[in-house]
Amino acid sequence: MGPAMLTMVDHPLAQHLLTSLRDRDTPPPVFRTLTRRLTLALVLEATRDLPTAPRKVDTPLEPVEGREIPTPLVAIPILRAGLGMLEAVTDTFPGVAVGYIGLERDERTLQPTSYYEKLPNLAGNHALLLDPMLATGGSAVRASASILSRGPASLRMVCVVAAPEGVRAMEEAHPDVPIFAAALDRELNQRGYILPGLGDFGDRLYGTEP
């Protein structure tokens, strides 16, 4: 698939939705709706080059040859924030299989530890890794390694906001995994949060901010 690349989804609607997500005054119910809508824009771009195959169907008037995606798609959110992106994928691709990877970040070392993993068959299938914030890149690198070890036809990462540090980590560890994001932000702070970012995505998604 070539060297890793960061594709910025700069569609006006995507940027409009991202600005509302960044707003500290956006309440959780609206935040969840905005996340689904933005994820749709990101996923459409991430799947733009999926291979298709011809398929003949009968319209009410006559036969016609169309195209379809013949290879199964697998969506894999990183728990828990990635769950906010999942519904947009399952709505868009009703036949998608879903796996889950649970990772927690040690607030002292900023390194991820795994607490749950449940993946469907990935051999020969196209996989989408969903995680709204690509910060240090630790979780993305670890999740990608687990997915790639199962032999998917391709792996694409979809995130809302990326930090340069996370993009570099993915490029070094998995140079064949393209990344699709709505923004590349400035940097990480000492706690590993993206600046300017939008805060803790999971907390804002589920209303669990202190």
Interatomic CA distance for residues 206 and 105, integer angstroms: 18
- Active site annotation includes 200: yes
Annotated domain spans of the chain? 6-48+72-206
HSE value, Cβ hemisphere, 13 Å, CA-based, for 91: 12
Q: Pick the catalytic residue: 36, 80, 105, 150?
A: 105
Q: Is the pLDDT assigned to residue 3 strictly greater than 60? A: no
Q: Is the pLDDT assigned to residue 2 strictly greater than 70? A: no
pLDDT, average across residues 153-166: 96
Predicted confidence band of residue 92 (pLDDT cuts 50, 70, 90)? very high
The 10s digit of each residue's pLDDT in 13-22 is 999 999 999 9
Instruction: Determine the pLDDT at residue 210.
Output: 60
Domain 6-48+72-206, CATH: 3.40.50.2020
- Return mean pLDDT, the chain: 91
For the full predicted model, state whether its pTM sits above 0.85. Answer: yes
Which residues are paired to 184 by β-bridges? 162
Instruction: Determine the pLDDT at residue 173.
Output: 95
The 10s digit of each residue's pLDDT in 63-73 is 999 999 988 89
Instruction: Determine the pLDDT at residue 27.
Output: 94
Interatomic CA distance for residues 34 and 53, integer angstroms: 33
- Active site annotation includes 109: yes
Instruction: Determine the pLDDT at residue 116.
Output: 79
pLDDT, average across residues 190-202: 92
The 10s digit of each residue's pLDDT in 24-78 is 999 999 999 999 999 999 999 999 999 999 999 999 999 999 999 988 899 999 9
- Active site annotation includes 203: yes
pLDDT, average across residues 88-112: 84
- Active site annotation includes 71: no
Instruction: Determine the pLDDT at residue 59.
Output: 96
Tell me the CA distances in angstroms from 105 to 2, 79, 99, one per residue in order: 30, 11, 20
Residue carrying the six token digits 């706690």: 191
Q: Pick the catalytic residue: 52, 90, 109, 113?
A: 109
Interatomic CA distance for residues 193 and 187, integer angstroms: 8
